[in-house]
Homo-oligomer: A and B are copies of this chain.
Amino acid sequence: MVGIAVLGAGRIGKIHATNVAGNKHAKLIAVADPYASAAQSLAGALGADAMTDCEAAIDRNDVQAVVIGTPTHTHIGLMLRAVRQGKAVLCEKPIDLDMAKSLAAVEEVERLKGRVMLAFNRRFESTFAAMREAIVAGEIGDVRQVIITSRDPGLAPEDYIEHSGGIFRDMTIHDLDIGRWLLGEEPVELSAVGSRLVDPKLMEKYDDYDTVMLQMKTATGKQCHINNCRATVYGYDQRVEVFGSKGMLLQDNLRPTTIRRWTEASTDAREPLLNFFLERYQQAYKSELDAFVDALVESKPLPTGVQDGLKALRLAECAVESARTGRAVIVE
């Protein structure tokens, strides 16, 4: 049994804590959050200790691993504290919004041979995972083009936008990770465009975009397109297409049921999409936590690492630069 502390009792911490509690090789030792009531409510429901001091939770002897679901600017501090004590970490992305800090943190983690898994949850979703398996198995031959659509159902609140680091670091970063993963190669060139079509004033205020497109190319010429929008009237839209020399794989959205409605106005109509990422990727979060615990219990390599976090962040930085300058950027 792996004793685990979950740091952060917000919506993402709640999911992780529940999944830890449900994993048969893990024991949820503590939930820590400076908001005492949040920590107590979550820990209480799951039979764990409630703490307000995240660092103290890391330091406990009965804790062998921590799950970090706290605000982004605290990730590095908590991650390194755990690594220095030889404890395993599952950390929400990004490592940090600042590239230099992220780089320094990754260097230290690697020097200490720390076991840190970055929480790219989509890789663990059954359809994404099946696509990757099919590609690796050679089912569609050599990958030529990856097309990723990822649109949020509604604009996040202003204070979220303010601290998000911008759409590329906040939203696109998931797709950049999926792009790298499905391409099976590192992008070496990236070109992005950004627009303010949903809420131009708000976007201008934070020098951000709400609607973006980017394209990337690997050294061997494989290509990847990503499109994002911060508001979508028909819901949380998540689709992927991988086109290869021997075929194509398409991934559709999930809906609560399989009902198709036929009326005077239209035929074959399906329901709105599963609402947002917590609902859409519920199974993925569980599989992600299970994969983390499995790797610890069986002493296997963690399925993702700090380098994945770093590379996705670097691509996001290139996108920011490209959208600003109107030039393609070489990824170094």
- State the A residues within 8 Å of B (CB): 126-127, 130-131, 134, 139-142, 144-145, 147, 149, 151, 189, 191, 193, 195-198, 211-215, 217, 220-223, 225, 227, 229, 232-235, 237, 241, 243, 245-273, 322, 326-328, 330
8 pairs, A vs B, C-beta closer than 8 Å: A127-B259, A147-B227, A151-B243, A196-B221, A227-B243, A326-B328, A326-B330, A327-B327
Tell me if A268 and B267 are in contact (CB < 8 A): no
Contact of A272 with B264 in the complex, beta carbons under 8 Å: yes
Q: A189-B326, A251-B259 are in contact. List 8 more A-B contacts (CB 8 A).
A: A144-B211, A213-B223, A225-B225, A234-B262, A246-B264, A249-B261, A255-B267, A266-B266
Q: Which residue of B lies closest to A141 (CB)?
A: B233
A322: chain B residues at CB < 8 Å are: 328
Chain B nearest Cβ from A271, distance in angstroms: 7
Please, which residues of chain B bring their CB within 8 A of the CB of A233? 141, 245-247, 263-264
A28 to chain B, nearest CB (A): 16
**Inter-chain contact A215/B221, CB cutoff 8 Å:** no
**CB distance A193 to B222 under 8 Å?**
no
